Amino acid sequence: MGINLTNFLSSKSKMTKMIDFQDLDHVDGISISVANANLYNDIRDDVVMFYFRDGANYASVYTQSKIISENIKWNLNQKCKKVFSLIVNSRNANAFTGRQGYQSLQVIAELLSRNLTEIQKNDEDIPKKINPKEIIFGCTGTIGEKFPCDEIVSQIPNLVSKIQYTQNKFIWMKAALAIMTTDTKPKMAMEECKIGNEKIKIYGIAKGSGMVYPNMATTLAYLFTDADLSNDLLNKLLKKNISSTFNAISCDGDTSTNDMVTIFSTAKINHPKIKNINDKKIQSFDKSLNNVLLNLAKRVVSDGEGASKFISISINNCKSEDDAKKIGFSIANSPLVKTAIAGQDPNWGRIVMAIGKSGVNLNLKKLTIKFGEVIIIQNGKLSENYDERNVKNYMKNENLNIIVDIFTGSKNFTVYTMDLTNEYIKINSDYRS
């Protein structure tokens, strides 16, 4: 697609790095290991292990699909306050695999917990016995295929032997690459902020390219911070910020069985205690978390299957945010809108169609539609200055902004999506090959 992510995702924050390939470095309390379990029958890495030597507080949001993968069932069944490891595999979703899929996770967790317990004995002054329930999973790939338990089991000793307590940009890159399926590029983001006078890191990786319409994306996103935040606070912060980030994107309107976004806190920075989400000392962290989530979410859309355009759809001045969402996603998920944009056809009538079918009450006498700065509809009528050539020229850009003003209230929402090209059909007609 060739989007200039450096400009596209730029931030004015001096403590922000939002270039294509970021120099994510060290977060205390984490070890990252990557291995090739031959799930793709080639040399690429396909399994990642994150090990939290002192455990990590965590919070997750998951797909709202009524059919969920076995790893999400496993994660939901674990009630531990801390986790010691996250294991992620690509190529196989472990969805619709039934008892075999779930029991495979039990086998892997039991083996990994024994191996990590031995590492604790060797490396820690006060070693901990790690329980299988203190391990969670991420899976992504094809639905309905037998879960490759033996292949992943064979790599557990390898993953554990690679444990190192200092990370660098190369291991983060390897991890981001290993969780990819149809993605064409790894997705990483980072922010630094302060709690009190202490510098805090927030790092994140994600994957997602197709089957992306999260409702909490196949989308996985994992965030890591050295802040000392409770599970309850992490949960509230994640749910607060997921709405305008991962729940504001759609590649193709399809929700995966495996979607999950998880944040881990290693509690390695001794900063002032945060008791609740309204504490002013958490404001900088809150903003930075949103930046990381939105950065990753945009990277997912920009790398959508077959995408040639990145599209921001801003719905403004609605009676409610829910109304703005309905209109935004009605436009974003319309195949007619997406194909017109792919063909650079200024067929604004399809935008009008999508607004109408959203079911939201409108004030047609005030409706305004713009492509970038080009006004198409003003006060419910075709603009007197409308010139289709201006819209056609604008649609040649890779990054497009569609702005719709409803004028029924003061609530806004922005949806991020992509166009629909022949390449999308090609990829998904041959997905399992």
User: pLDDT (tens digit, 9 = 90+) per residue, 110-125?
Assistant: 999 999 999 999 999 9
Evaluate if residue 145 carries a pLDDT over 90.
Answer: yes
Query: Strand 399-405 relative to strand 310-318: parallel, antiparallel, unpaired?
Result: parallel
Into which CATH architecture does domain 310-429 fall? Roll (3.10)
Q: Among 93-102, 180-189, 244-253, 405-414, which is the least confidently predicted range? A: 244-253
Catalytic choice (218, 245, 257, 408): 218
Q: In the sheet that 381-382 helps form, which strands lie side by side, from edge to edge?
A: 249-250, 411-418, 310-318, 399-405, 368-371, 374-378, 381-382
C-alpha distances (whole Å) from 112 to each of 147, 382, 393, 406 are 17, 64, 56, 54
- Catalytic site includes residue 140: no
pLDDT given for residue 12 in this prediction? 39
For the segment 190-197, the average pLDDT, to the nearest whole number, is 96
pLDDT given for residue 215 in this prediction? 58
Residue 189: φ, ψ to 5°:
-155, 155
Query: How many beta carbons lie within 10 A of that of residue 377, not counting itself?
Result: 20
pLDDT given for residue 2 in this prediction? 39
What the block records as the tokens of 262 is 């998880």
Average pLDDT, the chain: 90
pLDDT given for residue 14 in this prediction? 39
Evaluate if residue 348 carries a pLDDT over 50.
Answer: yes
Q: What pTM was computed for the model? A: 0.91
pLDDT given for residue 425 in this prediction? 73
For the segment 140-168, the average pLDDT, to the nearest whole number, is 96
CATH number for the region 5-302 comes to 3.60.70.12
For 183-220, b/e burial (b = at least 16 CB within 10 A) is bebbbbbbbbbebeeeebbbbbbbbbbbbbbbebbbbb
Higher per-residue confidence, 49 vs 214: 49
| pLDDT per residue as tens digits for the range 80-98 | 999 999 999 999 999 999 9
Evaluate if residue 342 carries a pLDDT over 70.
Answer: yes
From its phi and psi, is residue 314 left (phi > 0), alpha (psi between -120 and 50) or beta?
Answer: beta
> In the chain, which segments carry CATH 3.10.20.340?
310-429
> In the chain, which segments carry CATH 3.60.70.12?
5-302
Q: Among 5-14, 231-240, 366-375, which is the least confidently predicted range? A: 5-14
Alpha carbon distance 60, 52 (integer Å): 16
Give the amino acid at 425. I
For 23-48, b/e burial (b = at least 16 CB within 10 A) is ebebbebbbbbbbbbbbeeeeebbbb
Q: Taking the mean position of all CA atoms in its chain, how far away is CA 107?
A: 28
Residue 9 — very low, low, confident or very high, per pLDDT cuts 50/70/90?
very low
Sign of CA dihedral 209, 214, 217, 222: positive
Which spans in 79-215 are helix H? 98-123, 149-153, 156-161, 169-178
pLDDT given for residue 314 in this prediction? 98
pLDDT given for residue 433 in this prediction? 54
Residue 40 — very low, low, confident or very high, per pLDDT cuts 50/70/90?
very high
